[in-house]
Amino acid sequence: KAGVTQTPRYLIKTRGQQVTLSCSPISGHRSVSWYQQTPGQGLQFLFEYFSETQRNKGNFPGRFSGRQFSNSRSEMNVSTLELGDSALYLCASSLSQGLPGNTIYFGEGSWLTVV
């Protein structure tokens, strides 16, 4: 059974550009979450999608957005990139949303460098 797949793994963007990251959850999983990991702020929750609807959102500016498709695949977009957006972006999937103790599986992440 394939795990959570994220693409691209590494990318470099210029300040002011936008970027789209993609995530394919584990087959059958309907909940997808995104996290940002930086040395200074650690792991921070961005948002969670379930059945194509954003269910939870973290404290990030509106430049960070996401969506989920009918096949549960998800994308996140960051517009007007800033140097501080350089980070590892992790996608996580879970079977359902109803149980808070669900096991949450993470992908390998997408390394974004903004120059």
Residue 60 or 105: the one with the smaller Cβ distance to another protein is 105
Residues in 2-41 at the binding interface with another protein, rule: CB under 8 A = 4, 31, 33, 35
Contact flag: residue 85 with another protein (CB under 8 A):
no
As a whole number of angstroms, the distance between CA 13 and CA 75 comes to 17
Residue 79 or 95: the one with the smaller Cβ distance to another protein is 95
- Amino acid identity, position 58: G
Three-state DSSP class for residue 113 = strand
For 33-83, give the DSSP string: EEEEEETTTEEEEEEEEETTEEEEE-S--TTEEEEE-TTS-EEEEE-S--G
Closest separation in Å from C-beta 76 to another protein: 15
Of the candidate spans 14-22, 68-76, 78-86, 94-102, the one that interacts with another protein by CB under 8 A turns out to be: 94-102
For binding to another protein (CB under 8 A), which residues are involved? 4, 31, 33, 35, 42-43, 45, 48, 55-56, 58, 90, 92, 94, 97-109
